[in-house]
Amino acid sequence: MIKTSNSHLYELEVVKKSKPALAFDEKVDFTEWRKSAYDKLLSLLGLPLEAGSAFEIEYRAEKDGYTEYRFTVETEPGYFVPCYLLVPTGIEDKIPLTICLSGHGSGMHLALGVAKTERDKKSLEEWPHRAMAPRSLREGRAALVIEARNFGESSLKGIGTSCTEAAKIALLMGRTTIGERVWDAMRILDAVGEHFDVIDMENIVCTGNSGGGTASYYLACVDERITVCAPSCSVCTYEGSIIAMEHCMCNHIPSIRKYFEMGDLAGLIAPRKLVVAAGELDDIFPIDETKKNYETIKRIYKSLGVPENTALVIGDNGHYNYADLLWAEIHRMGF
């Protein structure tokens, strides 16, 4: 242990010297480990919450090649989440679903490819990957777009982000922002399954970049309805990313590194499909740490006899949603 008066350096040293209590271990019975890991993660996320029950379709609009539904779901008593469901037309069978979870930005309208401001317009021009819903339609899939807590319409100003303010309150109540986002997605999936019988609930891809990728990963950990989890620029070691540099407070889950490194949690997704995307030049989810984290993921899938059910794809840019690379692997896996 180092000698220092710098408390930050000391905390980092504590992390480096510690081994997560529920780290994946091939020598431990997987079924028992998985139950312990699931229960612990759910508790760390601050889940479950109390479920609401209201559902309302605000409008239905016929568009070029798809039907757009705008609706709200009461995910907790008194809390209503705005959502969109885009359903391609002309398909007779049940339609597979993509859950498009947004990262930090002005709101879920970017996932729809809609600009509300000049800044939005520039953002979509520079980063067209933000428009996840239109991409899902091109893949022949319905697209579910959710307004994440503290983003867009759910933020303090109704546009942009206000994570820190809400995350502080959540922590005081034994909750977490990421847990709340996961809870919302779970309850919204319930509503989609109940009210939209055209959707194939056996074929669900969940994807997103940055904070949206983080939510996708944790959602897949606790909800087995997710068939394919496809996060971009978000699945890395805690030690090399969330702990090592400044991140939004919504990424933080109290005590999580005491029990897991992020790769260990893939044991809650396996043997379902997991495609991790990363950027060679991503400066907040460093590629070397992502590769290190993925070694754990690969080891888990290999131990279960399904190494083909996971993949790491690396783009040559920075903090970006590598949708083309992700979808190529999703197709390889049969979806």
Report yes or no: 284 and 241 within 8 Å, Cβ to Cβ: yes
pLDDT of the residue at 10: 85
Say whether 102 sits in a helix, a strand or coil: coil
| Secondary element (H or E) of residue 265 | none
Residue of 223 and 11 predicted with greater confidence: 223
Could you give the CA distance from residue 108 to residue 58 in angstroms, rounded to a whole number? 16
Query: DSSP state, 176?
Result: -
Closest CA to 326 of 284, 262, 275, 285: 275
Q: How confident is the model at residue 110 (pLDDT cuts 50, 70, 90)?
A: very high
pLDDT of the residue at 198: 96
pLDDT of the residue at 6: 86
Any idea which of 11-15, 120-124, 181-185, 210-214 has the lowest mean pLDDT? 11-15
Task: Determine the average pLDDT of the residues in 61-90.
Answer: 97
Report yes or no: 330 and 291 within 8 Å, Cβ to Cβ: no
| pLDDT tens, residue by residue, 6-52 | 888 888 888 888 999 999 999 999 999 999 999 999 999 999 999 99
pLDDT of the residue at 231: 98
Report yes or no: 192 and 199 within 8 Å, Cβ to Cβ: yes
**pLDDT tops 90 at residue 244:** no
| pLDDT tens, residue by residue, 248-278 | 889 999 999 999 999 999 999 999 999 999 9
pLDDT of the residue at 1: 60
- Phi and psi of 255, rounded to 5°? 75, 5
- Considering the domain delimited by 26-332, tell me its CATH architecture: 3-Layer(aba) Sandwich (3.40)
Report the chain's mean pLDDT, rounded to a whole number. 95
How many Cα neighbours within 13 Å face the side chain of 81?
A: 32
pTM of the model: 0.96
Report yes or no: 183 and 47 within 8 Å, Cβ to Cβ: yes
**pLDDT tops 70 at residue 294:** yes
The CB density around residue 156, as the number of other CB atoms within 10 Å, is 11
Could you give the CA distance from residue 57 to residue 330 in angstroms, rounded to a whole number? 31
Greatest pairwise CA separation for the chain in angstroms: 68
Q: What percent of the chain clears pLDDT 70, i.e. is strictly above it?
A: 100
Both structure tokens of 213: 């990728």
Q: How confident is the model at residue 54 (pLDDT cuts 50, 70, 90)?
A: very high
CA angle 273, 277, 278 (to 5 degrees): 150
Check the CA dihedral 108-110-115-117 and report its sign. Answer: positive
Report yes or no: 206 and 230 within 8 Å, Cβ to Cβ: yes
pLDDT of the residue at 185: 98
Report yes or no: 156 and 146 within 8 Å, Cβ to Cβ: no
- Find the distance separating the first CA and the last CA of the chain, reported in whole Å: 49
The residue type of 247 is H
pLDDT of the residue at 62: 96
pLDDT of the residue at 4: 81
pLDDT of the residue at 2: 72
The residue type of 236 is C
**How large is the angle between the packed helices 30-45 and 177-195, nearest 10 degrees?**
100
Could you give the CA distance from residue 303 to residue 271 in angstroms, rounded to a whole number? 10
Task: Determine the average pLDDT of the residues in 285-298.
Answer: 97
pLDDT of the residue at 85: 98
| pLDDT tens, residue by residue, 176-209 | 999 999 999 999 999 999 999 999 999 999 999 9
**pLDDT tops 80 at residue 175:** yes
Check the CA dihedral 177-181-183-184 and report its sign. Answer: positive
Could you give the CA distance from residue 327 to residue 116 in angstroms, rounded to a whole number? 28
**pLDDT tops 90 at residue 123:** no
Q: What percent of the chain clears pLDDT 90, i.e. is strictly above it?
A: 89
Domain boundaries, the chain: 26-332
Could you give the CA distance from residue 108 to residue 86 in angstroms, rounded to a whole number? 13
* Cis ω for the linkage preceding 271 (within 30 of 0): yes
pLDDT of the residue at 8: 80
